[in-house]
Every structure is written in C-alpha cells, then in structure tokens.
C-alpha cells in the first residue's frame, strides 16, 4: 500500500502486464488517479488490452467485444461503490467471440 506516497505508476502497470504475458494471471486491475496513465503504460505490452472504465456499460463491452484483460480505474474519478460494480462486471463478463474475434486480432500488430 502506498497511501500518500508518490509512486511511478508505470512500474506497477509493467509488473501486471508482465504477469499476464507470463501466464501467471488471466486479468489485471490497476488503479491510479485517473486510470489513464496505467492504461497507456500497460497497453505498451503485446497481447495486453487495458481499458480505463468509469461505468459498467464500458466494462461489459470492453470484455464482451474487445476481450480486455486489464481494467484500470481512476480513484479520483469513481467512488468505491462504483469501482466495485465496474470490477464485478469486468470479472463476470466473458468474451463473446464470433465477429469480435476478427476485430480483436486486428488490434495486435
């Protein structure tokens, strides 16, 4: 826990991304002030599809349509209750596959 201590958020984003790349986890969760920096850093890694969500609709579609595997949240943007709801939806939603598979494959360069 780093409450009140300034940290370099990319260090944490890279750690989570590397765990997913190594097969040590299927999904990751990253939190910073807005969630934006975490998403940007995590998305630098191959096969990482990090999404910054501030609502459950986006979380559901990010998983269902884009097979997002990292959720980023902004602790200055969403409250604890909403963050919990977003995380629950993100974890409970399966990738739909089908027509979305072709599109997800095009994300990888």
Question: Tens digit of pLDDT for each residue in 32-83?
Answer: 999 999 999 999 999 999 999 999 999 999 999 999 999 999 999 999 999 9
Residue 3 pLDDT class (50, 70, 90 cuts): low
Burial class (CB in 10 A: 0-12, 13-18, 19+), 38: buried
The answer to whether residue 29 is domain-embedded is yes
Check residue 5 and give its pLDDT: 79
**Parent domain of 17:** 9-107
**How many domains does the structure of the chain reveal?**
1
* Percent of all residues in the chain with a pLDDT value above 90, rounded to a whole number: 91
53 annotated active-site:
no
The answer to whether residue 2 is domain-embedded is no
β-pair partners for 70: 28, 50
Check residue 7 and give its pLDDT: 85
| Active-site pick, 2, 32, 45, 53 | 32
The answer to whether residue 101 is domain-embedded is yes
65 annotated active-site:
yes
For 83: left if phi > 0, alpha if psi spans -120 to 50, otherwise beta; the answer is: alpha
Global pTM reads: 0.93
| Active-site pick, 14, 45, 65, 100 | 65
Q: What is the CATH number of the domain that holds 56?
A: 3.40.1400.10
Cβ-contact 27, 88 below 8 angstroms: no
Identify which has the larger pLDDT, 25 or 108: 25
CA distances (Å), 34 to each of 25, 26, 81, 101, in order? 24, 23, 16, 29
């Amino acid at each position: 826990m780093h409450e009140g201590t300034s940290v370099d958020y990319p260090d944490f984003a890279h750690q989570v991304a590397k765990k997913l790349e190594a097969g040590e986890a299927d999904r990751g969760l990253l939190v910073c002030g807005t969630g934006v920096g975490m998403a940007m850093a995590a998305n630098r890694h191959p096969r990482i599809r990090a999404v910054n969500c501030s609502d459950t609709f986006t979380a559901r579609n990010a998983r269902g349509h884009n097979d997002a595997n990292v959720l980023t949240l902004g602790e200055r943007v969403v409250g604890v209750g909403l963050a919990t709801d977003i995380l629950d939806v993100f974890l409970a939603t399966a990738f739909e596959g089908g027509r979305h598979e072709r599109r997800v494959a095009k994300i990888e360069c």
